[in-house]
Amino acid sequence: MSVFEQVKLRDDHSADSRPDLLHRAAETESEISFSDPLRKAETPVMRVDRNALELQFQIEGELFGNSVFKDALNIPTRPFSEDLFTNHHHIALHTQELGQLSNELTSAIQRCLEPHANRRVGLLLSGGIDSSLAAYHTKKVFPRTDLVAYHTDWGIPELSEREYASIAADFAGVELRVVDTSAESQLSVHDEALQACHTISYSVVPVFMALKRMVEDGVDVAVNALGLDELFAAYNVHRLYYRRRSPHIIPYSRRLLRLQKYRGAVLRWGTDRSWMLSTMAPKAWMTYVLDSDQTVSEVYDRHIRRDDLWNSLHLYLLEKMVSTFANMMSRAGKAAGIEVLYPYLDRRLIEFCMSLSPAAKYNKAPLRTLMRTKYGFSEAIASSGENWDKRGWGGTPVPYFRSKLYMEKVRPDMNLARDWFTEDALRLLDLSNKPTTDGLHMALFLKMIEHG
């Protein structure tokens, strides 16, 4: 059962009082699954939304499922309401709350995977907290299910999580298979993955490779542990929020964003609007795409609730994760020929987690407590990222920058680039001397246009 078969898009609790968020729920079907809309288009059509492309660079990703390609497979949905938050601010969960959290995590796995208990299940296992918990609970709830874990490995020892994935797999009692996703190995499927998934995000390629491997191995359905980072305040932006100082008086200035001292001051003393815009869109001071007329500040203004910035931040990240990352992963699944399930994008689990004190959830503290005191996880897993020192490649382009073969492969046509990007942006396309994340995304976009 995919996430949007688990939750209703429109019910008594989620009538959208702000229709600009994630499309209008009333204009969609009352219940929708990832697989249904994906049947409507099988091949990419290179019709580009220049405003969406501009926002791709401003926020480093698709905005709420809106791909830069107009005919991309878009899944508008929202499996939660705005009224999920508590005003409690105790800094640790009570024993009863921890017990209920454990039950909710287990129940979410059960509701999602019960229809697939007799099928062969593949689980994407990074070795971090989220996927390790998913492997543990899945095997605990469905001990007879044929569960196999898949780990993507970049072949870069200092960025590798392979050891931790092995520890987590052994603890859960599941087989671990390693997929070579080094930058060089991606080249054979690179163009296919990006075109089939309608994205210029390089992050989708290793996921596509892992899902294809599952299909080759006869796996029936895939599991992705998306959601807990958002539900338990595990991003660096949450850490920055807690470092804010009073008074919050510095206003937002797009022009001043290019100044490092201004950005530093805003992180400490900025108004809610200036803090969120400066943190979530620090490059808004420049324009990337020719003929675009969308400014990121207008978009963020529609997503900031002035009454409670913390809740607004949670809502923003949840919306982005559900409609962007889950959307993208499901497009990869569709391209590879396998359905992807998201047990932690469960309405009941989301609503329970959002009822907990924000301060008590900071950096996954409750999950770490459960792993140590109730489940018996290795400290190596439970402490992963506890000091904001997360291992692994994550979304960094470092593995690509290290590969001369890969960088040569994606070298852009500068004549074509001038049809799309401003002079300021064109300077970022010097990938051989000063490679940047934005430059790489720009190059991937141009390659898709060139081959599309």
Please write the tens of the pLDDT for every residue from 89-122. Answer: 667 888 999 999 999 999 999 999 999 999 999 9
pLDDT score, position 30:
25
Nearest Cα residue to 87 out of 273, 311, 244, 366: 311
Nearest Cα residue to 224 out of 363, 331, 352, 68: 331
Assigned domain for 354 exists:
yes
Q: Give pTM, 2 decimals.
A: 0.85
pLDDT score, position 44:
43
pLDDT score, position 162:
93
Q: Is the pLDDT confidence value at 9 over 50? A: no
Averaged pLDDT for residues 310-323: 76
Quickly tell me which residue has 């870069």 as its tokens.
156
CB 38 within 8 A of CB 331: yes
Q: Beta strand pairing status for 175-180 and 221-223?
A: unpaired
Helix (H) or strand (E) segment spanning residue 446: helix 437-451
pLDDT score, position 384:
87
Assigned domain for 244 exists:
yes
Bigger pLDDT: 301 or 15? Answer: 301
Bigger pLDDT: 95 or 34? Answer: 95
Q: Is the pLDDT confidence value at 280 over 70? A: yes
Q: Tell me: the pLDDT tens digits for 417-449?
A: 999 999 999 999 988 888 999 999 999 999 988
Q: Could you tell me the sign of the dihedral formed by the alpha carbons of 100, 103, 108, 111, in that order?
A: negative
pLDDT score, position 344:
94
Assigned domain for 152 exists:
yes
Q: What tokens does 327 get?
A: 């959307």
Q: How far apart are CA 220 and CA 269, in angstroms?
A: 51
Residues 6+ apart with CB under 8 A from 292: 50, 51, 53, 54
CB 397 within 8 A of CB 154: no
CB 210 within 8 A of CB 179: yes
Nearest Cα residue to 346 out of 324, 368, 322: 322
CB 195 within 8 A of CB 449: no
Assigned domain for 344 exists:
yes
Full residue range of the structural domain in which residue 333 is found? 1-412
Q: How many residues does the chain have?
A: 452
Q: How far apart are CA 225 and CA 20, in angstroms?
A: 28
pLDDT score, position 311:
72
Averaged pLDDT for residues 231-247: 84
Assigned domain for 449 exists:
no
Averaged pLDDT for residues 3-17: 31
Q: Is the pLDDT confidence value at 333 over 60? A: yes
Averaged pLDDT for residues 233-238: 84
Listed range (147-156, 179-188, 285-294) with the worst mean pLDDT? 285-294
The SS3 assignment for 56 reads helix
CATH number of the domain where residue 323 is located = 3.40.50.620
Nearest Cα residue to 286 out of 397, 437, 423: 423
Q: How far apart are CA 315 and CA 324, in angstroms?
A: 13
**Cα 307 → chain centroid:** 26
Q: Tell me: the pLDDT tens digits for 374-397?
A: 999 999 999 988 876 655 555 678
Mean of the per-residue pLDDT values of the chain: 81
pLDDT score, position 304:
65
pLDDT score, position 362:
85
Paired residues of 222 in beta bridges: 122, 340
Q: Could you tell me the sign of the dihedral formed by the alpha carbons of 202, 394, 317, 342, in that order?
A: positive
Phi, psi of 319 (to 5 degrees): -60, -45
Averaged pLDDT for residues 253-274: 90
Helix (H) or strand (E) segment spanning residue 177: strand 175-180
Residues 6+ apart with CB under 8 A from 117: 142, 144, 145
Assigned domain for 436 exists:
no
pLDDT score, position 388:
65
Assigned domain for 420 exists:
no
pLDDT score, position 394:
56
Categorize the per-residue pLDDT at 14 as very low, low, confident or very high, splitting at 50, 70 and 90: very low
Assigned domain for 300 exists:
yes
Q: How far apart are CA 177 and CA 392, in angstroms?
A: 17
pLDDT score, position 88:
53
pLDDT score, position 80:
52
Nearest Cα residue to 342 out of 363, 324, 367, 356: 324
pLDDT score, position 152:
95
pLDDT score, position 102:
98
Report how many domains make up the chain.
Answer: 1
